[in-house]
Every structure is written in structure tokens, then in C-alpha cells.
């Protein structure tokens, strides 16, 4: 007789060592929490305007520059509000007149809604692709489109896209360039990218950086800094917390405009330095590729499962969306949860019979393997 999800007890030897597979907030490495504990009295609860905290912010900015191989003139800008706050800030400080948005899921759609609602901006050009695929940017006149809004990894659907600089016709190449802005919230630290193709690569650290939310981190090219300063000089009204000129000035001093979450900053630094010690971004990305490869390979080999993203090139190496047939994905997620394996539930708004499994660098590929064995165990009993 079939079991109810909550009554299934997975044998201890099948279970992953760590049961956190959420796509954000995501698994925080216990080693990072220990490092935070070690700084409980000389860092936590101390002024963010003094050297104790500022040296940690400085190390964080340096670690990001090293991890991403940022060249001369690039700046790492930090502020409060996470990636959603950064969208609002970008509408005030980065988009000059009109943005082109590539939308293919919840997060990319949300950013397009921000610039659509901004009264000082023209209606955006929105290029949409069906869920499970990604759109391609259309080269446009820089006098019309001054920002291309791309998303490295659409966390809601598990689709990643290549980052390309839309090619201008030679006659337009002397114009002030359009900026390529990339929402890298779930990709940064887990997918390789080339600063030559991007102007602003922004994220929050509660996903691949295995920290906590609330902060935005933006790697900004010289052209991006120039844009922020030009809009600032033009006198446009900007709320101070959403003003990237203020954020950039504070970041140069290893500070934020207002008080940040100090624990988030230290946890992010711990992960960034762990990635650098391991061998850098390529090493971190290889851990994600190993875990996601295990999940997709398993799904393809099972009768009852298949990767949602049919084009393998678009399949995210960090967030695996897996469709199920003949068995309820919600029941599987409930049985996993009853065994302390959490946050595998599918993205509600997609409305599919699906699990969504994170494969961030902090997740041990051996645990991804164990998760697939646990799902097999559950499916046999449901």
C-alpha cells in the first residue's frame, strides 16, 4: 500500500549530510557560521564607521574584484536593499531614458515593472521568452536604449543565458555606449562571466554566496560609474537610499550609506575567500556544475522525472528545475521535508508538477547525489 509523504522515513545512510537545497536563502556553510562566532566580540556589535568593520568591507570588495577578475577602473559598490533594492536604485541612477528588458521569469519581470512604473523613464522595450527558455537582446540605437537588462540565471525557472554585448553597427560606435546590466543574484560566484561583456554585474549574497540577505553588491565598469556620475550631475531627484552616487562614494571608503547587517558582510567574505582558496570562480563553478550534472543526469534517466528546461544549453548549473510525471512533486517535497531535507518545492507561480533543487557551490556534490537517492526511495513508496 502507498505511504503518506509524512510517514516515509528515509534511512540515515541515504540522507545527505546537509539537507538544505533551497534556491535562496540557501545553505550557509557551518564553517562560515563558526568564523562569525569567532568574531562575536571584536566585530559584531561594533561601529561600521571604524576600522574593524571597514577592514572587513575592504577585504570583501577586494575578494570580489579578484574572484571576478575585474580590471582597472572597475568598482565594487555595496548598499542595503538586496537585489530588489538595487532595481529601484538603477531606475534612479543607471537608466537614463529607456531600458531594454529580457524577461523570462519572475525576477526579470519584476525589474521590467520597476522601469515601466518610473515616471521619469520612457516605457521599456520588453523582449519576452516562454518560461523554460531565454530571450536574446536586440541591438538598438543607444540614443533610444541606454541599458540592456539581462539576467544571468532566472532563479524562478532554472534557465541561464549567455552574457553578450549587443553589437552596434559601426556607424554608431562613437556614441555614448548603452550599458549591459546583469542581474546575477543566483549566478554570481557560481557561473563564469567575462567583464568584457558586462558593465554592471549585481547580486545579493543569500544565494551562491551562501550568506544572508539584505545587501546588494554591484561590480561596476568605468562606463557604469561614469553613467552614475553623469545622472547625478544632471540633478535628477533620487531618494538618498537609492542613490548609487552616494553608494559609490561610501563604498570607496569601505562603508555603506546607512547601517548594514554586519553578519551578512562577514558571511559573504567567508564564502568569497573560501572560493578563492579553493582555486577561484572556476573552481566554485565546477562544484555547481558537478551537483547540477548529477541532478539532471538522474532526472533524464528516470521514467518519472525529466529536466523542465529542454534545451541543455539553457539549463541552469545552479538551480535545477525537474518535472515529475505520475507522482506528485508536492508529495515528494513533503516527504523530503519530513526527513529534514528542505526547500525543494517548485516555484509556485510556474504551476508545474516540479521540484526546484539548488546546486550552489556551498552544496556538496555528494549531497546532491544523496538527494537523488532519497527521491528514488520516496517515489518507490508513494
Ligand X SMILES: *Cc1c(COP(=O)(O)O)cnc(C)c1O
Name the site residues for ligand X (rule: CB under 6 A). 24, 82-84, 107, 151, 155, 183, 185-186, 204, 207, 213
Cβ–Cβ < 8 Å for 68, 217: no
Most distant pair of Cα atoms in the chain: their distance: 72
DSSP tag of 20: B
Least separation in angstroms between CB 338 and ligand X: 26
DSSP 90-134: HHHHT-SS-EEEEE-SHHHHHHHHHHHH-TTSPPPEEEE--TTS-
* Closer residue to ligand X (CB): 85 or 293: 85
Beta pairing partners, 16:
none
Indicate the residue whose CB is closest to ligand X.
82
Q: C-beta of 88: minimal distance to ligand X in Å?
A: 10
Closest CB to ligand X among residues 106, 197: 106
CA distance 305 to 124: 38
CB of 312 to ligand X, least distance (A): 21
| Relative orientation angle of helices 365-381 and 329-338, to the nearest 10 degrees | 110
Q: Looking at beta carbons only, is 139 or 213 nearer to ligand X?
A: 213
Nearer to ligand X, 84 or 133 (CB): 84
Any long-range contacts for 281-287 (C-beta under 8 Å, 24+ apart)? 281/67, 281/68, 281/69, 281/189, 281/192, 282/192, 284/189, 284/190, 284/208, 284/361, 285/190, 285/191, 285/192, 285/317, 285/361, 287/361, 287/363, 287/365
Instruction: Compare residues 100 and 186 and give the one whose CB is closer to ligand X.
Output: 186
* Cβ-contact 216, 203 below 8 angstroms: yes
348 secondary structure, DSSP code: G
Query: Whole-number minimum distance, CB 217 to ligand X, in Å?
Result: 10
Residue (185 or 339) nearer to ligand X, CB: 185
Least distance in angstroms from the C-beta of 206 to ligand X: 6
Q: Supply the minimum distance, in Å, between the C-beta of residue 363 and ligand X.
A: 16
* CB nearer ligand X, residue 74 or residue 104: 104
Q: How far is the CB of 301 from ligand X (least distance, A)?
A: 28
Amino acid at each position: 500500500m502507498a505511504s503518506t509523504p509524512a510517514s516515509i522515513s528515509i534511512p540515515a545512510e541515504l540522507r545527505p549530510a546537509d539537507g538544505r537545497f533551497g534556491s535562496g536563502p540557501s545553505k550557509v556553510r557551518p564553517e562560515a557560521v563558526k568564523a562569525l562566532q569567532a568574531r562575536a566580540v571584536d566585530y559584531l556589535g561594533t561601529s561600521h564607521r571604524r576600522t574593524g568593520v571597514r577592514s572587513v568591507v575592504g577585504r570583501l570588495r577586494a575578494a570580489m574584484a579578484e574572484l571576478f577578475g575585474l580590471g582597472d577602473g572597475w568598482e565594487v559598490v555595496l548598499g542595503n536593499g538586496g537585489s530588489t533594492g538595487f532595481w529601484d536604485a538603477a531606475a534612479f541612477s543607471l537608466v537614463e531614458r529607456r531600458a531594454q528588458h529580457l524577461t523570462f521569469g519572475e525576477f526579470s519581470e519584476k525589474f521590467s515593472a520597476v522601469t515601466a512604473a518610473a515616471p521619469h523613464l520612457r516605457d521599456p522595450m520588453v523582449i519576452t521568452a516562454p518560461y523554460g527558455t531565454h530571450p536574446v537582446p536586440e541591438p538598438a540605437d543607444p540614443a533610444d536604449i541606454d541599458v540592456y537588462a539581462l539576467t544571468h540565471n532566472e532563479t524562478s525557472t532554472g534557465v541561464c543565458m549567455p552574457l553578450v554585448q549587443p553589437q552596434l553597427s559601426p556607424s554608431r560606435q562613437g556614441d555614448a555606449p548603452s550599458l549591459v546590466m546583469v542581474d546575477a543574484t543566483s549566478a554570481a560566484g557560481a557561473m563564469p562571466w567575462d567583464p568584457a561583456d558586462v558593465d554592471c554585474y549585481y547580486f545579493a549574497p543569500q544565494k551562491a554566496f551562501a550568506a544572508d540577505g539584505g545587501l546588494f553588491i554591484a561590480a561596476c565598469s568605468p562606463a557604469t560609474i561614469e553613467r552614475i556620475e553623469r545622472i547625478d550631475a544632471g540633478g535628477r531627484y533620487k531618494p538618498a537610499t537609492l542613490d548609487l552616487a552616494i553608494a559609490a562614494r561610501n563604498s570607496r571608503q569601505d562603508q555603506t550609506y546607512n547601517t548594514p547587517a554586519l553578519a551578512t558582510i562577514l558571511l559573504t567574505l567567508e564564502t568569497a575567500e573560501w572560493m578563492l582558496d579553493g582555486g577561484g570562480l572556476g573552481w566554485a563553478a565546477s562544484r555547481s556544475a558537478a551537483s547540477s550534472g548529477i541532478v539532471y543526469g538522474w532526472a533524464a534517466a528516470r521514467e518519472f522525472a525529466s529536466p523542465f528546461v529542454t534545451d541543455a544549453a539553457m539549463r541552469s548549473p545552479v538551480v535545477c528545475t525537474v518535472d515529475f510525471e505520475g507522482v506528485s512533486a508536492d508529495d515528494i517535497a513533503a516527504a523530503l521535508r519530513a526527513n529534514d531535507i528542505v526547500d525543494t518545492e517548485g516555484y509556485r507561480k510556474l504551476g508545474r508538477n516540479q521540484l526546484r533543487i539548488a546546486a550552489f557551490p556551498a552544496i556538496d556534490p555528494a549531497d546532491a547525489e544523496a538527494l537523488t537517492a532519497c527521491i528514488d526511495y520516496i517515489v518507490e513508496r508513494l
